[in-house]
Chain A
């Protein structure tokens, strides 16, 4: 018996979320009185694989296969199902991101294992296995009972945090069987934004809305984000207008994020936008309309024109950094 965690790497280096997933899986493993096994797919050096041990993984299974140039949903499902069987895993943990959403549902059917997706906490009960998740676009929570022997969970990023729990991890290279029928999609081209902090990984996000009045005014958003080590984001009208790419759109139909700090500049806070950002631990709103709904969701607010407030904010952050 074990808890299996599916980790993700970015060009051979583990994403921050992988450490959070292992930390989370390890807490469940402790409750179940079992151990944590981490699965890595893709080329990752042993020194990097060993890092997963810092967060509690006692066994790291590494799969490298030249046939896999990118995420092939069927092939990944097949590999993970073979590892679940080999390790006798009773809980399988994914991130609730593109990768998790692509593979966890397929695995659920393949293993006939109940899936609780988008969970944000540890199970409240192990028998029956009960766990909480957000529903109705973050306007409510549901307590879900997973009724099958194997349970699959996808965890909201930044919901649990990273906890060190050093373990002397062993690394095992594994060569799963892959059939041609698992490889019916072919990745023709992979394009990655290099050197840019991933929006879903970021602990701080600086976001702009229509109140920024045009793409030419995005300089201060970029500058503040750079000073804070933050990612940039935008509201839906901004991406629809083409001021920013839709990859930056946070909201109900865009990305759903949960950073520690979300700074909303010139965003009124439509319910669709709040659905995507309301899980942020702290929200700062800058908007000239005192009745904007964003202030109901915000922890700190400035009623003022974002174009005037942002340069002042940049100066103040620079002063703080200089004095630190």
Chain B
């Protein structure tokens, strides 16, 4: 059985966001790039499942749609423990484009379990996993917070608003994972970092796909007015402000 984890290359969370070209493009200068946090949790769970499988999971593969500048992020995933990396050589246009590219490559290989993070921290679209499953015409389970394999059967727990569902699914399937799937992301060991250099990283050329949406331009939010401070021995004043000024309680 093989597990595929789709990973996205995103700016580190603490990055100060700036735009160039008359606010039509993200300014990449001085940006630290990381594995999308939800994808990293997916990869961590995939590695945990493989380690506990006694050889039943033969490999964990990571796949990314991006240019050569994404390769350090793929190598980090290999250092965490993935067995092989795949890069589809294209700059992402929109979620539909990315999912279509992933689907083309996945159709050529047999993956029983495909994992995606529930969203990426750059465009926050929460779309690629669901779109990919529709392209592949396989079941998807979204907002997955627990995933295990026992006797070849996949047990999935998904969060719903105000509760959860336990689900059984046929394979292959796309699991769209979120917080809870793994507690902390794995940190690459020195041995992992060394071996990552020699692990295979396969590059596919993209297929022609038109994006369905276009990012016309970007805006930064207006700066907020200063916080109104209330003395800790005058809590009544806070309640008064929330009641009479903000009219919220």
Contacts of B127 in A (CB 8 A): 101, 104-105, 108, 115, 117
Cβ–Cβ contact B162 & A10, under 8 A: yes
A195-217, CB under 8 A of B: which get 1 and which 0? 01010110010000000000000
Cβ–Cβ contact A144 & B216, under 8 A: yes
Q: Does B59 contact A (CB under 8 A)?
A: no
CB distance from A159 to the nearest CB of B (A): 14
Given contacts A98-B159, A300-B227, A317-B239, contact A130 B216 (CB under 8 A): yes
Given contacts A108-B127, A240-B183, contact A77 B134 (CB under 8 A): yes
Contacts of B123 in A (CB 8 A): 135, 142
**8 Å CB interface, A85-122 against B:** 96-99, 101-110, 112-118
Cβ–Cβ contact A115 & B212, under 8 A: yes
Contacts of A261 in B (CB 8 A): 242, 246, 248-249
Cβ–Cβ contact B227 & A299, under 8 A: yes
Cβ–Cβ contact A135 & B124, under 8 A: yes
Judged by DSSP, the binding face of A is mixed
Cβ–Cβ contact B248 & A140, under 8 A: no
Cβ–Cβ contact B179 & A101, under 8 A: no
**8 Å CB interface, B24-73 against A:** 37-38, 41
Cβ–Cβ contact B163 & A191, under 8 A: yes
Cβ–Cβ contact B214 & A147, under 8 A: yes
Q: Which of A109, A143, A303 makes the CB contact (< 8 A) with B232?
A: A303
**8 Å CB interface, B111-130 against A:** 118-119, 121-130
Q: In the assembly, what is the distance between CA of A70 and CA of B214, in Å?
A: 34
Cβ–Cβ contact A108 & B121, under 8 A: no
Given contacts A136-B122, A147-B212, contact A247 B131 (CB under 8 A): no
Contacts of B145 in A (CB 8 A): 246
Q: Does B1 contact A (CB under 8 A)?
A: no
Cβ–Cβ contact B14 & A271, under 8 A: yes
Interface residue total, chain A, C-beta cutoff 8 A: 102
CB distance from A264 to the nearest CB of B (A): 12
Cβ–Cβ contact A300 & B228, under 8 A: yes
**8 Å CB interface, B148-166 against A:** 158-166
Question: Nearest CB to that of B232 among chain A residues?
Answer: A304
**8 Å CB interface, B196-249 against A:** 211-221, 224-225, 227-232, 235-236, 238-239, 241-243, 246, 248-249
Q: In the assembly, what is the distance between CA of A247 and CA of B220, in Å?
A: 30
Contacts of B212 in A (CB 8 A): 108, 112-115, 146-148
Contacts of B243 in A (CB 8 A): 320
Q: In the assembly, what is the distance between CA of A108 and CA of B238, in Å?
A: 46
Q: Does B139 contact A (CB under 8 A)?
A: yes
Cβ–Cβ contact B246 & A282, under 8 A: yes
Cβ–Cβ contact B238 & A97, under 8 A: no
Residue pairs across A and B with Cβ atoms less than 8 A apart, 28 shown, are: A73-B133, A73-B141, A98-B142, A101-B142, A105-B128, A105-B131, A114-B94, A115-B95, A118-B126, A139-B221, A141-B221, A143-B218, A144-B215, A185-B167, A187-B166, A189-B165, A190-B160, A191-B165, A204-B248, A246-B179, A275-B121, A284-B238, A285-B227, A295-B229, A299-B227, A302-B231, A302-B235, A317-B249
Apart from the given pairs A110-B134, A147-B211, 15 other A-B contacts in the complex at a CB distance below 8 Å: A70-B167, A73-B142, A102-B140, A103-B130, A115-B127, A130-B216, A141-B221, A147-B212, A154-B126, A192-B162, A253-B179, A284-B242, A300-B228, A302-B238, A304-B232
